[in-house]
Amino acid sequence: MSRQKLLFAYILTLSAVALLILGRGISTVSDSGFDIGRLAVFFAVLVISESLTLELGNGTLVSFSLVSQILAISVLGIDKAVFIVGLAEFFSVYYKKGESKFVFNRPFKVTVFNTASTVISFYISAHIAYNYIYVALQIHGILGYINQFITTMMFSFIFLLINDLLISLVIYFDKGIDFCKTFKENFTLGLPNFVSMGFMGFLLSVAYDLYGYISLAFFFLPILIVRYTVQIYLDLKKTYYETIQAFVDAIEAKDKYTKGHSQRVEKYAETIAKELGLPDAKIEKIKIAALLHDVGKIGIDEGILNKPGRLTPEEYEKVKEHAEIGYRIVRNIEFLEMEARWIRYHHEWYNGKGYPEQLGDKIPLEAGILAIADVYDALTSDRPYRQAMSEDEAYSVIVNERGHFIPTALEAFKKAFANNRELFIRVY
């Protein structure tokens, strides 16, 4: 059976299970009386919470919907809550890359899967946490807010676990991307958010018990302020990044043989840095350094850069100056001091050769990452004096030149190439 058929069968199965769960929720609502006012309030709260989701630009989403879901369980009970959660998820509005996405302008299968996976994850995790863990803690004498806190955090953890399993499986069926790798990445990225949102959900539930609906205002007002502030920061960051890209494009226009080179080096360097497990903030700085690593070529004669043949020793010495020129340009930007150093040393070799200072084993790791990414792209690009190598040929050259590169960076490159082969395929 093809993956697309498996995908269809998978979504259909999840939908059937979700409908059974929602049917139970609807029957509970009908049996206990239809408090339309309270249900409408929680529907609105859940939809608004989902619409406040922040996309941080590094693959991380900060969603506040879990906070409202925890409150819904506390106030409505599991069966009523799952009905409202499912309804709100179906009609939710969220923003992706500046565009609003909702049921009427996104693929219907996406809406169906999102709703089904949320309903199933919510229902199972709520039952485990509130019907088993909560009761077990009571039996062992753990009562009150301590019990409620532990139960809430366990609900958040189990919800994340189940939801990521369902999402990783749909990504495998849809795109063929390794299930375990996707699950690990999603779980690692999602855990801090779910822990913090679980804690906020606990606090909101306690506040609601004490103050009722007014607690919702105290919940949403700070979130709206924080979201607005963070969005301004993200917009400024995006503008800053786009300005750097435009600057790099203008520089690369001087050298017809390296158009797009810096963007590709950025992609390769990011992949290697992630394989090393570097913090997101450090990876962002490496990406900026990768974009700017050849900025010094602005000071090199165009006749040398575009020479249709091998350079003379004198011309090569001139080209080597671009690392120092780039350093002098970038170091004058106050918040790019570290990036300037990496740019200066991205042609240093681990065996003490290279330029400009023959640092040897004192090369900064970040510069070593740039060095590998730079060489890989150079090898897989056409030059006036040779044709581009294939990806495998370039990989072999780099791996066999052990003395040139920092060993830890080289090992990370080997793993990144094996685990993310698609990212190392030259497409432009």
pLDDT in tens, 212-261: 888 888 777 877 787 778 778 777 877 877 788 777 777 766 665 567 88
Q: Is the pLDDT of residue 59 over 60?
A: no
Superfamily of the domain at 253-424: Hypothetical protein af1432 (1.10.3210.10)
The burial class, CB within 10 Å (0-12 / 13-18 / 19+), for 260 is middle
Better pLDDT: 236 or 342: 342
For 426: left if phi > 0, alpha if psi spans -120 to 50, otherwise beta; the answer is: beta
C-alpha–C-alpha distance, residues 134 and 132, integer Å: 6
The burial class, CB within 10 Å (0-12 / 13-18 / 19+), for 334 is exposed
| CATH 1.10.1760.20 domain residues, the chain | 3-233
Model confidence band, residue 118 (pLDDT cutoffs 50, 70, 90): very high
| CATH 1.10.3210.10 domain residues, the chain | 253-424
Q: Which fold has domain 3-233?
A: Arp2/3 complex 21 kDa subunit ARPC3 (1.10.1760)
Please state, in angstroms and as integers, the Cα–Cα distance from residue 235 to each residue in 73, 123, 227, 263, following that order. Answer: 35, 37, 12, 20
Lowest-confidence segment of 139-143, 262-266, 374-378 by average pLDDT: 139-143
pLDDT in tens, 80-108: 899 999 988 888 877 665 566 666 677 88
